[in-house]
Chains A and B, each alone.
Chain A
C-alpha cells in the first residue's frame, strides 16, 4: 500500500510500497503537482520500476517548465534502485531533509 500526502512545507511525503498496483493512484496525485517539489521518502520502504516510471514522467513534465522533483531521506534499497537505473543522474537525491 502507498500513501501520498503533502507536508506542512509543501513537500510530498510518500509512505509504504510504491509498486505496480499503486501506479494509477500515484499518477492521479502527481497530475496536480506543479513547480519544483521535494519528495520525502522517509517512510517509503520500497519502489519498483513501475514507481520509477511514474516519477520519471513527472520529472519530464516539470522539466519543461524548468522545475524538478528532488528526493530526500531515501533508504539504501531506493538509492540502489535509482543508482542502477541511472535515475540518480536525473533526480537530485539528498540524505538529509532540505531546509
Chain B
C-alpha cells in the first residue's frame, strides 16, 4: 500500500520579515511529522531562496504566497505558489560558475544553484498566471 501523504499549507505576506514565521511553520510540521531535525536547514534554505525570489521579482503583487509541505514515506516535498504573476522558472536558470575567483564572484543565482545541489529534484508549473515551484527531498 502506498504511503499516506500528509499536507499542511499556509499563506504568507510578501516580505522578508515573514521568514521567521515560515521557519516556525516548517518547525511545526517537522515536529508533527517526527521528521529528524538534521534535514531542517536544507528545507529552510530551499524555502527561503524560492520565497525571496518571489518577493524580489514581484514586489508589488498584493497576493500572498502559499507554502505547502507534504510528507509521504521517506519523501518530503515543498511547493511555493505565487498568484497572478509572470512566468519565472527557476529550473531553467543558467548554472552559476562557482569556480570563479573572488573578484569575479557575484551573489546572484547562488540560491537556485544551492537548491538544485542540496535537494533531490525541482519541478516548475505555470498555469493561469499561477507559478508553482516544488522541490523534493528524500529523508535518510
Is B122 an interface position by the 8 A CB rule?
A: no
Indicate the size class of the contact surface on chain B: 20 to 34
Q: A77 contacts B41, CB within 8 Å?
A: yes
Known: A49-B114, A52-B110, A86-B99. A81 touches B105 (CB 8 A): no
Interface members, chain B 26-71 (any A CB < 8 Å): 41-42, 44-45, 48-49, 52
**A43-97 contacts to B (CB < 8 Å):** 45-46, 48-50, 52-53, 56-57, 59-60, 63, 77, 80-81, 84-87, 89-90
- With A20-B19, A21-B20 in contact, do A60 and B48 touch (Cβ < 8 Å)? no
- A70 → B minimal CB distance (Å): 14
Q: How far is the CB of B107 from chain A (nearest CB, A)?
A: 3
Helix, strand, loop or mixed for chain A's interface? Answer: helix
Chain B residues whose C-beta falls within 8 Å of the C-beta of A85 in the assembled complex = 98, 110, 113-114
Which chain B positions have C-beta within 8 A of A46?
41, 44-45
Q: How far is the CA of A59 from the CA of B102 in the complex (A)?
A: 8
* A17 CA / B103 CA spacing, docked (Å): 27
The reply to whether the CB of A11 lies closer than 8 angstroms to some CB of chain B is no
B2 lies within 8 A of chain A by Cβ: no
B127 is an interface residue with CB less than 8 A from chain A: no
Cα A85 to Cα B20 in complex, Å, equals 24
Of all chain A residues, the one with the shortest Cβ separation from B15 is: A21
**In the bound complex, do residue B20 and residue A1 qualify as a contact, i.e. CB atoms below 8 Å apart?**
yes
Query: Nearest B residue to A53 by beta-carbon distance?
Result: B107
Contact at B117–A84, with CB atoms within 8 Å? yes
How many positions in chain A have a CB within 8 Å of any CB in the partner chain?
A: 27
Residues of B within 8 A of A87 (CB): 98, 105
| CB–CB A19/B48 < 8 A | yes
How many Å lie between the Cα of A60 and that of B101 in the bound state? Answer: 11
How far is A50 from B49 in the complex, measured between Cα atoms in Å?
9
Q: Report the minimal beta-carbon distance from B17 to chain A, rounded to whole angstroms.
A: 6
Q: How many angstroms between the C-alpha atoms of A21 and B18 in the bound complex?
A: 8
* Nearest B-chain residue to A64, judged by Cβ: B103
Q: List chain A residues, Cβ under 8 A from B23.
A: 17, 19
Residues of A whose CB lies within 8 Å of any CB of B are 1, 17, 19-21, 23, 45-46, 48-50, 52-53, 56-57, 59-60, 63, 77, 80-81, 84-87, 89-90
